[in-house]
Amino acid sequence: MESPAVLRHVVLFAFKQEASAEQVNDTVSRFAALPQAMPGIRQFEWGSNVSPEGLNDGFTHCFTLSFASAEDRDAYLTHPAHQAFVARLGECLARSLVIDYWARASA
Digit-coded pLDDT (tens) for 4-25:
789 999 999 999 999 999 999 9
Domains of the chain from N-terminus onward: 7-51+60-102 (3.30.70.100)
pLDDT tens digit sequence for 22-57: 999 999 999 999 999 998 999 999 999 999 999 999
Q: Which residues have CB under 8 Å from 11's CB, separation 6+?
A: 31, 62, 63, 64, 65, 96, 97, 98
The answer to whether residues 86 and 11 touch, using CB atoms and an 8 Å cutoff, is no
Element at 20 (helix H, strand E): none
Task: Give pLDDT tens digits for 46-91.
Answer: 999 999 999 999 999 999 999 999 999 999 999 999 999 999 999 9
User: What pLDDT is recorded for position 105?
Assistant: 79
